[in-house]
Amino acid sequence: MAIVRNLSRALAVPLLLALGACGDDPAPTATTPPPAAPASPTAAASAPPAATGDPAARAAEVVARLSDEDLAGQVLMPYAYGGSATQVDQLNKQGNQQLAGVDTPAEMIAKYRLGGLILVGFTPGDPTGKTNPTTNVDNPEQVRALTAGLQDAAAKLPAGAPLMIGMDQEYGIVTRVTTGVTMLPSALAFGAARQPALTEQAWRAAGTELAAMGVTVDFAPVADTLNPAGGGVIGSRAFGSDAKANSQQVAAAVRGLQSSGVAAALKHFPGHGHTTADSHDELPLIAQSRKAWEQQDLPPFKAGVDAGAGLVMSGHLNLQAIDKGVPATFSRKIMTDELRGRLKFTGVAVTDAMNMAPAKKWPAGEAAVRALNAGNDMLLMPPDIGAARDGIVNGLKNGSLKRERLTEAVTRILTLKFRTAQTPQPELSVVGSPAHQQAVSSLNASAITVLRGACSGPLARGPVSVSAPANREVARVNLVKALQEAGMQVQASGGTVIRLVGYGDQRVDLDDSAGITVMMDSPGLLAQAGTPTLIATYSSSKLSLDALAAVIAGKAKAPGRSPIAVGKLPRSACAK
């Protein structure tokens, strides 16, 4: 895997197209220039046909006639290089050859008879970037053309089933497509707003846009519960530190996504919010007692399952109270006894990326069999696709993998795919629509939190200026424009200084010239600031900054309440 990753970053990435900023203005993302996308009617014609009849019955019929190789392929969900299914440049061909011995994504689907493919994006600074060594998404038109081509390839397989096309579109700091879409804020903003109805509304808009682009699974929402101070590696990707409040948010997000025909995937089971280590690099420890885990980590997953989530993603996590030392992905006690037994989950269990360090403890073929035996159905991003497929087939032959377990997994996968395909694909014109923008704007306005400062009237009088590090220039410019539109006088320097702080910043000066400090990610750093006015937006999206400008200008209240503790500051200076 190291060879593939180095190849992509050293060769492919420099040729990529820059993506727009997302989350807290990470460094620009790049993707290989895709061929011109077809017009919407052409793409729609290539979309998978709507499935008819009972999805479970149809899945059972298909499974009964599949070969061992077909069954093995259906549980694999790798990534591929290239922004088109069939036309890729030489560097992306090299990447696909290293990964799968093929030139194009369509050939990868045909060779391994794949059941799914994940669309990926590499952004420096993205906490999930280590498992996304390339980028094959850019804008809605390109993604729709890509997914149509992928579905064409899948339609030719013996299974005759739609391809499961997934993407990590969490919004906030983990967002794959940023150009042209309606940008939701981070999950922490939803926790601050405390309005599940707005959460469902916003995620319905997001799901409709994903469906229009041809995405069938969103690896969201994050159902992890943070520790009280919101520390650890998950941060603003989760809704907050209150398990009960998180449960309401998770259920609302699931309902919103799936009402649009996109399956939701809860992650990272059994809970990544109380860990400090990064599971990309090592095996994090979940140190709670069983009782504490049941009270703090389990409820949001149960709420998401009860809301009908199509998938649950396993985390490579050491839940010592249940199966000490065994990554949850490979633990039958966790993935079968707890997830299936306790939570009564009947959907698709999907692993976190199998190219992460804890999953690479074993060779790819052995890891695939171990993950399936633990209770997973879909294997995400195996580091060696051929070895994973061969390991599964050999497992059937030598008895280390029971045929009943594999057919159970494939039946669940096909049932979900046939069910998802029953929802017609929306036209691409819905992406970024005014109605979606308004739905998300309402959520953003409800999330803005004043942790210190006035609760009415303008928060700055007279001229203002906006300062931010160079890597947050997009956010700075967007706030300047929003303040001007709100009627404020903005100048290059002087006046009341509004300082923007975001994801990745390590400290805030205690004594400086700023009058207002704004945190656009997890608000913990605000506890260090000596600024008279402290505000949290939890996001640097344009819609979040529009809402911020309205509060600073005195045209809107700040009803948000921090969903995590911020030092000795109140959760809000203005909201109960």
Q: Which residue from 514, 432, 506, 519 is spatially nearest to 475, judged by alpha carbons?
A: 519
Annotated active-site residue 24? The verdict is: no
Q: Report the 10 Å Cβ neighbour count for 412.
A: 22
Please state, in angstroms and rounded to a whole number, the distance separating the CA atoms of residues 183 and 186.
Answer: 9
517's enclosing H/E stretch is strand 514-519
Through-space distance between the first and last CA atoms of the chain, rounded to whole angstroms: 50
Please state, in angstroms and rounded to a whole number, the distance separating the CA atoms of residues 447 and 59.
Answer: 43
Annotated active-site residue 274? The verdict is: no
Residue whose entry in the numeric block shows the structure tokens 């590090």: 469
Please state, in angstroms and rounded to a whole number, the distance separating the CA atoms of residues 448 and 543.
Answer: 11
Handedness of CA 223, 228, 232, 238 (dihedral sign): positive
Q: Which residue from 508, 507, 310 is spatially nearest to 416, judged by alpha carbons?
A: 310
Q: Measured at the alpha carbon of residue 524, what is the angle toward residues 521 and 525, in degrees to the nearest 5?
A: 90
Please state, in angstroms and rounded to a whole number, the distance separating the CA atoms of residues 280 and 1.
Answer: 13
Task: Tell the burial category of 14 from Cβ atoms under 10 Å away from its Cβ (0-12, 13-18, 19+).
Answer: exposed
Handedness of CA 534, 538, 544, 545 (dihedral sign): positive
The active-site residue out of 272, 274, 280, 436 is 280
The active-site residue out of 218, 352, 377, 546 is 352
Please state, in angstroms and rounded to a whole number, the distance separating the CA atoms of residues 27 and 64.
Answer: 48
> φ and ψ at 325, to 5 degrees?
85, -5
Q: Measured at the alpha carbon of residue 12, what is the angle toward residues 10 and 18, in degrees to the nearest 5?
A: 110
CB 154 within 8 Å of CB 108: no
Distance of CA 320 to the CA centre of its chain: 26
Residue 413 in tokens: 């996968």
Handedness of CA 394, 400, 402, 407 (dihedral sign): negative
Q: Which residue from 355, 354, 345, 353 is spatially nearest to 416, judged by alpha carbons?
A: 345
DSSP bridge pairs for 349:
312
Cβ neighbors of 561 (< 8 A, separation 6 or more) are: 192, 194, 449, 571, 572, 575, 576
Residue 100 in tokens: 């799968």
Cβ neighbors of 310 (< 8 A, separation 6 or more) are: 217, 258, 263, 264, 265, 347, 348, 416, 419, 420
Q: Which residue from 244, 274, 247, 240 is spatially nearest to 564, judged by alpha carbons?
A: 240
SS in 3 state form for 348-405?
EEEECCCCCHHHHHCCHHHHHHHHHHHCCCEEECCCCHHHHHHHHHHHHHHCCCCHHH
Active site residues: 280, 352
